[in-house]
Structure 1
């Protein structure tokens, strides 16, 4: 496996060991961003498309800088331009249409799209977003993309024989988008497949779509897969065969009870492990997060561990999200120093 990780180590990194720190994707939007959206959607308001674009640019710039201030090695813009992980992409893909919200649970509604014609790639989805963020950022930028299996599973399919066929067609479009992102300079791309957690028996379909996505991706581009909130024993060790450099998994919310799932057979990919809980507004202390990070060494040695939140932080108060990130980075640096001093045992290296 090609080492795609070293390129993200800062030149002034303080320790010999390096635990890559990053985020999964989404982040709380500034309150004025939501107000700007309301104004833009109000036909009676004097707030046109240019004003809305400026508001999104300002929010993306602000959150990118907030990520950098927390000390993260790899940052994002917190998905300031995106509303929802399926809806956003469905609006950009030819063949989708929307027919109104669908009730998904309780009083929650989801604007579930329908595939009513063959899906086609009409224009780039994320290149402008990446180029803006990359220009603003002084650190490397990660690009999250909703994966084709989730795009298929969380849509009404009125055209293709089954969701597997639709997912494979969408995978080819994702591959085209990644080609454009790579041309623009992207080096770290994350495929989000939360739907796999709810239907883990479909891991073979996800594997096939990832093969299509990874085709032609240069060796120096880091490709990750994020799967959250599921019973990983139903997709491990099969997920080790996925053609990605990194598997990004939620473990903090389950109090790390699933760590043992990954100890046999050996975890051969890099692991991006959630060490702070995005569903709890309590800010974990640096000491607590250090303990969480060390649990990762039961699965992989430090050179294979990425430290991140469980999932996107968007549901938390913004000040809580920031403090979780800052504490997480501080914890990672302190664990590195302890590793340098030989004060931490690494079971996965034995």
Structure 2
């Protein structure tokens, strides 16, 4: 399914395993997305129809005896999601990304989607989170158990559509626990660890299906940094018995990173995906001392701003990453998921991101960029 070559790096889960065949530059800055992407407007309309919205013909076409359209049934809804997944996967490839996802076209919300698939969760209606925004916050009412697979079908469909490697984002167990009502466990830690075992079970199935790039999303981490040890324990459970050639990343956004660094360097992951562009890289220095020993997936476009960054602006942002790690440890991505942006803006950001990465690679090849950061590994 992929156009990636074998890794030339000693580490079996190096980002170089995703280097495209015939890559034009000696240096390689892997380009990817965090996960979510704007849904086509017709997919939102399809969801409304499937969930019991208006199933009649458009008002302007309704005569006195207009017949109702057929119900928008399960088959129609599945077809709509398949079509959206194909569309966005190919849109990512058209933008030039080295590793793609389907934009999470089948997912509604990062906790709710998984809670519906885990035994032990139930829903009692939405709660207000801020302003006029509501979140269908689930409750854990009994011991959580693994039942149906969560993402295997999604991965297999996307991998079949894609001509490039596919990454699988999964909401992490700490966020699944922290953003839920706990009515069954003595404490957050015991719930999160049980959920981590379920995430491990799902990853095992994804690996069996061919997945080699897994991203654990833990946005709750940097907002509750005193619990970083719980996240570390969860990650140990998550990666247990996962093959070495499977790349595991951790996405963290928001919060004060100085409260979790350098402790997070002890986490058993290959890559940290960090939101820094939105804060104008004010926290960049946090990661310079001690040296950053993992790969850095640096956010170089702002997921919260609808203006498209120029190629030159993005190149300057990429060079900020080279202040922390050398090129062999740098991955280039947006700050966070792009689902709240207009779709044309999201696409232009991705296309400019890829162009900027390729130009920085060429500048590195030509010796036009001085890299101060030296390679640093965990055993240094």
TM-score grouping bracket, smaller chain normalisation = over 0.9
Structure 1 partner of 2:35: 25
Structure 1 partner of 2:304: 279
Aligned pair partner of 2:181 in 156, 166, 184: 156
Pair 1:319-2:344 in alignment: yes
Is 44-53 or 331-340 further displaced after alignment?
44-53
Q: Deviations over 1:253-275 (max 9, x none)?
A: 00011110000000000000000
Q: Deviations over 1:147-190 (max 9, x none)?
A: 00000000000000011110000000000000000000000000
Shift of 1:349: 2.5
Structure 1 partner of 2:153: 128
Matches within 5 A, 1:140-155: 140-155=165-180
Shift of 1:44: 6.5
Who wins on radius of gyration, i.e. which is larger?
2
Q: State how far apart, in whole Å, the 2-side matches of 1:41 and 1:35 are.
A: 10
Shift of 1:230: 1.5
Aligned pair partner of 2:316 in 286, 291, 294: 291
- Two-structure CA RMSD over aligned residues (Å): 1.0
Q: State how far apart, in whole Å, the 1-side matches of 2:309 and 2:319 are.
A: 15
Q: State how far apart, in whole Å, the 2-side matches of 1:223 and 1:349 are.
A: 23
Q: Deviations over 1:65-99 (max 9, x none)?
A: 00000000000000000000000000000000000
In the alignment, structure 2 segments of 5+ residues that lack a partner are 1-9, 56-70, 376-380
Q: State how far apart, in whole Å, the 2-side matches of 1:67 and 1:43 are.
A: 31
Structure 2 partner of 1:92: 117
Is 25-34 or 102-111 further displaced after alignment?
102-111
Shift of 1:124: 0.5
- Runs ≥4 residues deviating over 2 A: none
Secondary structure at 1:349 match in 2: coil
Q: Deviations over 1:116-148 (max 9, x none)?
A: 111000011000000000000000000000000
Shift of 1:6: 1.5
Pair 1:242-2:267 in alignment: yes
Q: State how far apart, in whole Å, the 2-side matches of 1:136 and 1:94 are.
A: 31
TM-score by length of 1: 0.99
Secondary structure at 1:37 match in 2: helix
TM-score by length of 2: 0.91
Report the CA distance shift for 1:298/1:3 in structure 2 as closer, same or farther (over 3 A).
Answer: farther
Aligned pair partner of 1:2 in 5, 11, 26: 11
Secondary structure at 1:253 match in 2: helix
How many matched pairs?
350
